[in-house]
Structure 1
Amino acid sequence: MRETVYGIRTRYVEAGEGEPVVLVHGGGPGASGASGWARILPLLARHFHVLAIDLIGSGHTDKPLVDYSFQTLVDHVAGFVDALGLTQVRLVGNSQGAYVAMRYALDHPARVNQVGTIATATLATAVGLRDDGRAVPLPAFDGTRASLVAFMQAIVNDRAKLTDELIDARFRSASLPGHREMLDSLWNYRKLVTEDPDQQQVFEVRERLTKLTVPWCVIWGADDRTAPVETLGAGLRELYPRVPFHVVEGAGHQAQTDQPQAVYELLMNFFVRTAASAG
Structure 2
Amino acid sequence: MTAAASVAEGTPFRSRSVVVPQVRALSETVHGVRTHYVEAGEGDPVVLVHGGGPGASGASGWARVLPLLARHFRVLAVDLIGSGHTDKPLIDYSFQTLVEHLAGFVDVLGLRQVRLVGNSQGAYVTVKYALDHPARVEQVGTIGTATLASAVGLRDDGRAVPLPRFDGSRASLVAFLETIVNDPAQLTEELVEARFAVASLPGHREMLDSLWHYRTLLTEDADQQQVFEVGPRLAKLTVPWSIIWGADDRTAPLGSLGAGMRERYPQVPFSVVDGAGHQAQTDQPQQVYELLRTLFGRAPARAA
Post-superposition CA distance 1:140-198 (Å, at most 9, x none):
11111111011000000000000001000000000000000000001111110111111
Matched, 1:213 2:260: no
Task: State the AA in 1 paired with 2:271.
Answer: H
Aligned pairs for 1:100-139 within 5 A: 100-139=125-164
* TM-score for both structures, normalised by structure 1: 0.98
The answer for the alignment partner of 1:227 in structure 2 is: 252
2:49, 2:219 → 1: CA distance? 24
Matched, 1:90 2:105: no
2:263 to 228, 235, 238: 238
Q: Displacement of 1:9 after TM fit?
A: 0.5
Contact 2:240 2:301 in 1 (8 A): no
Which structure has the highest helix share of the two? Answer: 1
DSSP 3-state at the match of 1:14: strand
Q: Displacement of 1:81 after TM fit?
A: 0.3
* TM-score for both structures, normalised by structure 2: 0.90
Post-superposition CA distance 1:68-123 (Å, at most 9, x none):
00110000000000000000000000000000000000000000000000000000
Contact 1:8 1:61 in 2 (8 A): yes
Contact 1:2 1:9 in 2 (8 A): yes
Aligned pairs for 1:1-279 within 5 A: 1-6=16-21, 7-275=32-300
Contact 2:120 2:146 in 1 (8 A): yes
The gaps in structure 2 that reach 5 residues or longer are 1-15, 22-31
Q: Displacement of 1:277 after TM fit?
A: 9.0
Task: State the AA in 1 paired with 2:81.
Answer: I
Between Structure 1 and Structure 2, how many residues are aligned?
278
Task: State the AA in 1 paired with 2:113.
Answer: Q
DSSP 3-state at the match of 1:61: coil
DSSP 3-state at the match of 1:21: strand
Post-superposition CA distance 1:211-261 (Å, at most 9, x none):
110000000000000000111011011111000000000000000000000
2:47, 2:252 → 1: CA distance? 23
Contact 1:215 1:274 in 2 (8 A): no
1:103, 1:188 → 2: CA distance? 21
Q: Displacement of 1:210 after TM fit?
A: 1.0
The gaps in structure 1 that reach 5 residues or longer are none
